[in-house]
Chains A and B, each alone.
Chain A
Amino acid sequence: MGTLPTGSVEKAASSREEILRKLRERIVRFAASKIQRDAAEDLAQEVLIVLHEKYRHLERLEDLFPLSLEIVRFKLMAHRRKAQRHGEYTQIPVDGIQVTDDGPDPLMAAEQSEMRERLIAAIAQLGDRCKKMMALKLEGKSFAEIRVILGAASINTVYTWDLRCRKHLLELIGGSWESGR
């Protein structure tokens, strides 16, 4: 990456700050719909700290946005686990606590496996066009390419088809990709 002129650096920094500010606002509101407000504030703060400390070099929205979504998801999962571990109703003796191993988290693996099964079952109930679209998307085709393959008049038609398919799939799976969320 070449050296940016002073003005550009300032502009980029302010742009990054602006993106992070908006992200924080969205994250707090999203998290507050899932957990308590003060915990949501803390969670958003933790996400920003991670973005600031580990991903200081990222400035573009296309990089920061998906990254923040991923961090929020992990933080929320950790929060739920922590709450369950510390909760009065789930207190267990020290002897019962298992030592963490380096392998894949069995809980996450089990959840992912469960979600995969539900998704496969739901996909089987989709209509032909939706199945075809899903297959093409998983093959890595863009919406423009899908438009050509499916013979749609415009790309907006493809967007609309995809939106409907997603909505139908979400309904079939129970309203949320993750069970019990």
Chain B
Amino acid sequence: MKNEEARKLLGGYATDTLTASEQRALFEAALEDQELFNALQDEQALKQLLADPGSREAIQRELKQSAETRRSPWWSSAWVWGGVAGAAAAAVLIVAMIHQNRPAARSAPVEVASAPKPPDLVREAAPEAKQLEKPPARALNGRSRGPEKLKPLTTGSLAPRAADQIAPSTAPAPPSAISDQPSTQAELREPLGAAPAAGFVAATPTPLQYSLERRGADGQYSALAANAGLIAGDAIRIVALPSVSGSLTLEQLDASGGWNRIGQETAVVANMRYPIPDSPIEVRGNAEKFRLVLVPASPPRAKAFARRAESNAAASVTNVVSPFTVDITIEPGRVR
């Protein structure tokens, strides 16, 4: 076999596709041809990768998925068309229902306004009614059909009682009572491991969770019950559950606005419970702010990369490791 022909066998080397005779032909050619030898030497990296069963399987999986996608193009699948048709039908139905319901909802004032009222009352109510009953443009284009019919409704015969009826739907809802009852503590008593636990920034995944424990008369700590409120004089501690290893500290906000560390920095292992601080926190009459700070240990892979990279890469590795904080406010009756 000529060298040019043997070169065509190159692609079969890494995948072990070659027969014994093909292999021999390729090697013999490579012994005489430096370029072919270099190409084979470069191919060795691919061969080694494909010799790894995990890598080989991953590539085969990718090829299989690709083949399946190819076999059934998205537009040829009956279920796709069925789905599209279903979605279109649903969309039409929803639009139709919205159009049907919207004018009906707005028609309530029409009935109220049509009630016969004494002319003097109507005059008094007119400015208020204008303000309250100003329908949006879309409603005007709905069933009411045109300004000539709307005119008597908004300026003609709207009674004060009608305004009362409209008010709840147009005025902003009254502010809900913000409770500082112990019920807020129910959030706190999520079991450890549930995400996110109370005290965490909403919708932000955090690797640090905590619960509270209160010291009993016998000196033993027990988890704060869901319906139990804190009272001044209670001795409590925080039980932290980090999901990454690193170092953990507890800080307290002082009167000057600075954070002071309480106790020692603790080296923590992921998914272990760490009661902190060593001596309990006494609940006082006023609100006290605490902060849990978790500095994750640098990931081993980042270290591996840092070892082979230049010095500037080492700086970027340190950027990867940023501390996580959780603020906790403790006061009688509630914990935030």
Contact = CB atoms under 8 A, between A and B. Distances in A.
B52 interface: yes
A115 interface: yes
Contacts of A72: 41, 44
Contacts of B55: 112, 116
Contacts of A123: 59, 62-63, 66
Interface residues of B, number: 54
Interface residues of A, number: 55
Contact of A73 (B15, B30, B41, B66): B41
A137 interface: yes
B31 A23 contact: yes
Nearest to B62: A120
Nearest to B8: A159
Contact of B62 (A124, A144, A163): A124
Contacts of A138: 15, 50, 56, 59-60, 63
B308 A162 contact: no
Interface string B32-63: 10100110111111101110100110111011
Nearest to B9: A159
Given A62-B23, A120-B58, A178-B45, 11 more contacts: A69-B40, A70-B48, A124-B66, A131-B70, A135-B63, A135-B64, A137-B11, A138-B56, A140-B17, A143-B19, A176-B42
Interface of B: 5, 7-12, 15-20, 22-24, 27-28, 30-32, 34, 37-38, 40-46, 48-50, 52, 55-56, 58-60, 62-64, 66-67, 70, 300-301, 303-305, 307-308, 310
Give the top 6 A-B pairs by smallest Cβ distance, nearest first: A159-B8, A166-B11, A106-B304, A137-B15, A162-B11, A65-B27
